[in-house]
Structure 1
Amino acid sequence: MLPPKVYTFLCACFAAMGATLYGYDLGVISYVLVAPDFVRVIDTTDDNYIGFIVSSMLLGAFFGSIPACLIADRFSRRMAITVAGGVFILGGILQTATQNKETMFAGRFFAGIGIGMLGVLAPLYQSEIAHPSKRGMLTATFQFFLGIGAIVAGWIAYGVQQTHPNAPMAWRLPLGFQMAPAVPLLLLSFLLPESPRWLMIKGRDQDALRTLARLHARGNENDPFVQGEWLAMKEKLGQEASVDQSWGLIFYDKTNLRKVLYGIILQFSVQMTGVSAIQYYAATVYKSVGFSQNTALLINSLNNINALFGELACILLVDRVGRRFPLIAGNMLAGSCFAVATALAKQFATGSGSRGEGIGFVAVLFIYNFAFSACIGPLSWVYPVEIFNTAVRGKATAMTCMAAWISNFMIGQVSPKAWNNIGWKYYLVFTVCGFTNALTFYILFPETKGRTLEEMDAYFRETHWFVPGAKVPVVSSKEREEQLAQDGLNHDRNIPSSDAEKGLQAGDYNHHEHI
């Protein structure tokens, strides 16, 4: 039998295949848009139409977020993942068989609904099955699989366009291949263990205990750590059962509203670093600094590989360095890279750009993409989902994901016109936003590394909104897990209930801390 953390990691990776669909769609569209036969079929060169072909997927994702949380809360996380896979396949079929721009819009929209659902469901499921010490790693796999999808899309589309540049295959084959990762999500999601927190919400306490044991202790229900987790979850959900769990719980509770606003701010900030503008319109970006279309697409494919190394670095390090520092440092580096890129792009706009300056532009964007992939992109999925309590996690995650999709939609829609109207000056937006993002995270966002999901409410209530002055203590994730195990041992020894309650108050671990 696999070690518990390996088994849990593999379960998280299966759920993360939903991100492969998103990454593939992100990666493939820049190749599809410039395929000669695709241009013939959609019969338009209007910037608004081109922008909407890109962004209609994101509009679908926006509308898919709320149904995802409703299905997940009502029927289970696994069922919702299955439904999302089916909806995405419908969108993939429409895109692959399209004969006009209207069908292409519809296909992108339905595929977007599936992607929007999975953007909610995969991080939600991953966070709810994870060990506290590995939660960042597990949730960061979402961005890693997104990167895999972008790489696969890039190299398939680039290869087909080299061998069949003017044929329908140059774009229909890449669009058709995007459905492959959705098939196991549709057919095999039932093999995943259900979220123990969802089971407990539904009153299935013993099923939750069995699932925790399966995930974290090779099926041993008497394992002290499993017992401690189960008791902490039961205590926290007991508290939440006494309050209204409707949408009003988000808007009328100051702590929940604060956390949702943080999630929305984070998701908007991601798009304002410029990542999607570069990804969607790679051919336009690299052609503007002197490269041919084929070379531009090759550069984009290589940059996707570069991003994967950044995402791997995040998976390996996020639970050691935390969330706060990478968000601050990554955005500062992103702003610095775009400052240099802006200066180099200006040279080409004025007609004085050299080959060396074009290579320098590419190099700077490679540095930016690595920093984004290691410090920003993965954490946009990690941070929001882990700060919510179980009562609102599905709904609140849906709201933060909607912010991701609508901001992504905005960038996809306005970028073609921005480049046509203001050219290199468009990069100034991303330069400024990189630095303002870093300042925002420095002021507002407390560190969440190592803390259990059940303690986040108390942690945010006790942490002042101005984080630099809040004197937030450092948390050892290993110590947290030892505390849970100790609580489980105390429970097994039948200690007096008054003492047990002191040790199990959700979010209150101060009597254990030595930091």
Structure 2
Amino acid sequence: MVLSPKTYTFLCGCFAALGSILFGYDLGVIAGVLPAPDFLRVMDLEDDPNGNWIGFISSSLLLGAFCGCIPASLAADMLSRRTAIFIGALWFILGGVLQTAAMNRGMMLAGRFIGGFAIGQLSFLAPLYQTEIAHPSNRGRLATLQQFFLGIGALIASFIVYALEVTQPGTVMQWRLPLGLQLFPCIPLASMIFLFPESPRWLMSVGREEDAIASLARLHAHGDIHDPFVVNEAAEIKAGVMYDKQAEQGWKKVLGDKSNLRRVFIGVMLQFSVQMTGVSCIQYYSPQIFAAIGFAKEKTFLFQSINSIIALIAQAICVFFCDRIGFRPLLIYCNLVSSATFAVGTALQAEFPADPNNPDATNTSASYAFVMMTWIFNFAFSLGIGPISWAVPPAIFTTGIRSKGTALSSMSAWIANFMIGQVSPKAFESIGWRYYVVFCILSFTNAIAMWALIPEVVGRDLESIDELLREEPWFIPRSAALRKKVKGTDVEDKIRNGEHPAPAAKLDGLEYDEKKEGTTTMVEHI
């Protein structure tokens, strides 16, 4: 059976998203590894009253992720998108082996940092690659696979942690086995990534025009390089690349251009705002949070397993419907729901506080209602906030700076994640349930920021997004074009019929600047 081009491209996006499983798996598994008695014994953490070492072991992965972004962006531009993914997979294998075999804190910290270094690379390379290979009509679907596969990793981890808590309590298997299992997604990713098409936009940007057309044909036309859609799409990509090359190159181009600064601001703000919803606080410290309302650790892991199922359902809905709904509505309304759940959860904690010294006095109904709020929050987060935060940055940057801009956006997510991971234990210790008020307020302000600043990119080809962000105002309610959701299939029909000229064609015949390029060759249909 011959697959349709969109199905084939979707499957390519799924394979690239294997790297996303790693972060989701780590989020789910670390909550079970850190309190394991044998882990505490081997790491000499049984006498760590303030939890400083435990917190640093958890957050060292985030520091590694922060450090991995820029090197990955350089590799993606210099070596190719696929090669950068391959390198990230190798780094993770090394980090995973060190964690699984760790005999002391230093070895564990090194493994966590190196594993995080790889996660920082793969977490933005996957949506970058997916964005550049997608059709306009399903770009949202491919780019949001990042969060869906993250959810798969979290779901697998939650059930493994729960099963080992029940069957292997206190043994070495309780923590070494789940850490070792994280290596499995990396093996097929590293060994098979070069069997998949290279990004046609990267190929065009480095002058490999024939290879770019062949890659487009493989992705979008069963290999037919003469297909009208491929011919016209290649012309648009080439025009966009030529236009891009007339501007200043490198990091100066990213930070020295007003339009590009706008894109960096949008990406950084969006990725930073994700952590301000409190998602990492709940993921990392769920045992402590649920213990504070009267639940045993074993039941906490069961709640997290249910939470992972809820998240995966929401992520699947996002993947299959975001191209119809649009990114802006999902971001705005899901942040409002997030704010509401923390408001209710805070009220429940204030009105019905649990007494750890007298479990019988705990209001069980209020405790379960609080758990329900975390599930509703997780559904809203997984439906819109998490998936779209990874999908927007690659879409708003041009080919020449896409990897660099997306790397900067991702770095803001990791540093915010690290901050929340370090601050949360102290905050719970100092102010208890009042800490939830912070996330209630910030989720609400997130919704306002999304309404004011995030453009709608669903359905558009990447070259027209570039034009709009150069010409339209920052305040999105003032721009009908940036608020409007475009039907991607209509855009594809126009490209196929040659009715959708590249935005760069507005430049007098698309001539190169002779001083910069040494030629005045015009872009023509290929």
Classify the TM-score, shorter chain. Answer: over 0.9
1:6 and 1:418, CA in 2 relative to 1: closer, same or farther beyond 3 A?
A: same
Aligned to 2:358: none
8 Å Cα contact 1:158-1:297 kept in structure 2: yes
Q: Secondary structure at the match of 2:497?
A: helix
What's the counterpart of residue 188 of structure 1?
192
Tell me the equivalent position of 2:307: 303
Letter in 2 for 1:22: F
Q: Aligned partner of 1:458: which letter?
A: E
Give SS of 2:294's match: coil
Question: In the alignment, is residue 341 of structure 1 matched against residue 339 of structure 2?
Answer: no
**Distance across 2 between alignment mates of 1:303 and 1:484:** 42
Structure 2 distance, partners of 1:281, 1:368, is 15
Q: Measure, in 2, the Cα distance between the counterparts of 1:362 and 1:474.
A: 36
| Equivalent residue, structure 2, for 1:405 | 414
Between 93-102 and 112-121, report the one with greater CA deviation: 93-102
When normalised by structure 2's length, the TM-score is 0.92
Map of 1:139-218 to 2, 5 A cutoff? Answer: 139-218=143-222
Q: Helix, strand or coil for the counterpart of 2:458?
A: coil
**1:105 pairs with 2:109:** yes
| 1:464 alignment partner, SS class | coil
Question: Which shifted more, 262-271 or 474-483?
Answer: 474-483
* 2: CA distance, partners of 1:471 / 1:79: 39
User: Structure 2 counterpart of 1:299, which letter?
Assistant: F
Please give the secondary structure, in 1, of the residue aligned with 2:250: coil
Paired with 1:449 and 1:89, the residues of 2 have a C-alpha distance of: 35
Which one-letter code corresponds to 1:254 in the other structure? K
Which letter does structure 2 place at the counterpart of 1:7?
Y
Name the TM-score, length of structure 1 as normaliser: 0.94
Say whether the 8 Å CA contact 1:344–1:353 is kept in structure 2. Answer: no
Aligned residue in 1 for 2:502: 504
Taking the aligned partners of 2:227 and 2:42, their CA distance within structure 1 comes to: 61
The superposition leaves residues 170-222 of structure 1 with CA deviations (integer Å, 9 ceiling, x where unpaired) of 00000010011011111111111100011101111111011101000101111
* Aligned-partner residue type, residue 457 of structure 1: D
Distance in 1 between residues matched to 2:166 and 2:72, nearest whole Å: 39
**Matching of residue 477 in structure 1 with residue 477 in structure 2:** no
- The equivalent residue for 1:245 is 249
Which runs of 5 or more residues in structure 2 are unaligned?
356-360, 507-526
Alignment-derived partner of residue 436 in structure 2: 427
Which residue of structure 1 aligns with residue 378 of structure 2? 369
Of 80, 85, 88 in structure 1, the residue corresponding to residue 89 of structure 2 is 85
Return 5+ residue gaps in structure 1 as ranges.
Answer: 491-501, 509-515
Q: Write out per-residue CA displacement over residues 452-499 of structure 1, whole angstroms, 9 at most, x where no aligned residue.
A: 111122111222111112222442212111111111xx7xxxxxxxxx
Amino acid in the other structure paired with 2:229: F
Deviation at 1:89, TM superposition (A): 0.8
Q: Deviations over 1:104-143 (max 9, x none)?
A: 1111100000100101210110000000110000011110
1:439 & 1:507 partners in 2: Cα distance?
Answer: 36
Match of 1:416 among 389, 401, 425: 425
Counterpart of 2:445 in structure 1 is: 436
Per the alignment, residue 21 of structure 2 pairs with 20
Q: How much is the aligned-residue C-alpha RMSD, in angstroms?
A: 1.3
What amino acid sits opposite 1:466 in the alignment?
F
Shift in alpha-carbon separation, 1:263–1:507, aligned structure 2, 3 A: farther
Identity of aligned residues (%): 50
Give the 3 Å change call, closer, same or farther, for CA 507–471 of structure 1 in structure 2: farther
Query: d(CA) in 2 for partners of 1:103 and 1:161?
Result: 24
8 Å contact kept, 2:293–2:354: no
Question: What does the per-residue CA deviation read over 1:404-456, in whole Å, with 9 as the maximum and x for residues that have no partner?
Answer: 11111111111111111111011111100110000011111121111111112
C-alpha contact (below 8 Å) 2:25/2:153 kept by paired residues = yes
Partners of 1:348 and 1:171 in 2: how far apart?
A: 35
The size of the alignment, in residue pairs, is 495
What's the offset of the Cα at 1:241? 1.9
Q: 1:379 aligns with which of 388, 406, 416?
A: 388
Cα shift at 1:350: 6.4
Task: Evaluate the alpha carbon distance shift between residue 74 and residue 52 of structure 1 in structure 2; reply closer, same or farther with a 3 A threshold.
Answer: same
Alpha carbons of 1:33 and 1:507: their partners in 2 closer, same or farther (altered >3 Å)? farther
Residue 204 of structure 2 is aligned to residue 226 of structure 1: no
Alpha-carbon distance in 1 for matches of 2:501, 2:388:
31
